[in-house]
Amino acid sequence: MKKTLVLADRLSGPALWLVALANLLLVAAFVATLLLIGGQAHAAAPACVGKDMLAEMAAGEPARLEAIKAEAAKTRSGAGRLWKIEKEGLEPSFLFGTMHMTDPRVVTLPPQAQAAFDRSTTVVIETTDVLDQAKMAASLLSSPDLMMFTDKTTLTSLIPPDDLKTVEDGLKERGIPLASVIKMKPWMLSAMISLPACELARKAAGEPMLDINLAKEAQAAGKELGGLETAKSQLEAMASLPIEFHVEGLVETLKLGKRVDDVIETMIVIYTNGDTGLFFPFMRAAIPAATTGTDGYAAFEEKMIVARNGVMATNAEPFLAKGKAFIAVGAMHLPGDDGVIERLRRDGYTVTRAD
């Protein structure tokens, strides 16, 4: 079976990394919802049609799948979504990996995670700014250049002429006239178009993402609520990447059309199986171009993953000092030598898998 290989060959580095954007930034997932609500009427969520690429590999390219799994097996802390955090003199806390999605398979906590959440007195998510639309809007409006071109630049001035029709047609298929977004930064559009129609429809209908659902449940239960980052810091990290990287990713994502649904479905399968160490080997296997060390990819990895892992680990410590915290961050931030788990271990915590 060559379907998976064909898909892999067509995915460029920027395209797939920007597909992962909404699961690397809680703010991006939230902004995508605001964009959709602002431009489209609510409708019943269409059926999700994405296919599991790993299952296709198992059927048609088993050797390739085994190579991906072998790489994942070498990843530190690459199995498990729930982790217990301990240090002498402190009450234990828990770290849980999330996906910033509304998919029922994602939103429903596993029993062990639900028990840890119920026992907690403090719940921490990436940023609490997304819980207050007025506060979020104020944060966005305070730095309009993070979302919009404030000079004479337009989106069309940055898109190669040969790709302009592709972009215009791709946006039109999604009900977005190009003229209506001509001043919008390309990463804003990528946050919306890289998610399946079913996911966007659920968000627009008001169904909460896992992180926001946890925060609201915490508030209802009278738990203390905290955040590790601000909306503005997340926006600044994304906006700091090379504009060429954003433009290329937008164009390539639109070229792929609904095929990105397969990538999202595969990421959900990886997530629900708790195989967090499989995320990056899967993406690297699907995008050989991303392994060449381009400036855009290197900047994306450093600013969106590595640097933010450090911020999360550092900012988690005051909550860990109080004990009985349930800290929820994107699952992609957990594994690896520079992941949040290993950073906490280097800071003197004992971190063990709890699911």
Residue 9, both tokens: 């060959």
Taking the C-alpha atoms of residue 246 and residue 249, their distance in angstroms, rounded to an integer, is: 5
Residue scoring higher pLDDT (290 or 203) = 203
291 by Cβ neighbours in 10 Å (0-12 / 13-18 / 19+) ranks as exposed
Q: Return the pLDDT at 295.
A: 63
Residue that is written with structure tokens 């992941």 in the block = 339
Mean pLDDT of 39-64: 82
Predicted structure pTM score:
0.90
Taking the C-alpha atoms of residue 108 and residue 17, their distance in angstroms, rounded to an integer, is: 26
Distance of CA 346 to the CA centre of its chain: 25
Give the up-direction half-sphere exposure of residue 53: CA atoms within 13 A in the CB hemisphere.
Answer: 28
Q: Return the pLDDT at 36.
A: 59
By the 8 A CB rule, do 257 and 193 touch? Answer: no
User: How many Å from the N-terminal Cα to the C-terminal Cα in the chain?
Assistant: 35
Q: Return the pLDDT at 7.
A: 43
What are the DSSP E strand ranges found in the chain? 82-86, 93-98, 122-125, 224-227, 325-330, 350-353
Q: Examine the pLDDT at 287 and tell me if it is beyond 60.
A: no
Residue 122's DSSP bridge partners are 224, 325
- Over residues 122-164, the pLDDT tens digits come to 999 999 988 987 777 777 778 888 888 999 999 999 999 999 9
For residue 88, the enclosing domain spans 3-41+49-353
Q: Examine the pLDDT at 187 and tell me if it is beyond 80.
A: yes
Could you give the number of structural domains in the chain? 1
Taking the C-alpha atoms of residue 338 and residue 344, their distance in angstroms, rounded to an integer, is: 10
Q: Examine the pLDDT at 6 and tell me if it is beyond 60.
A: no
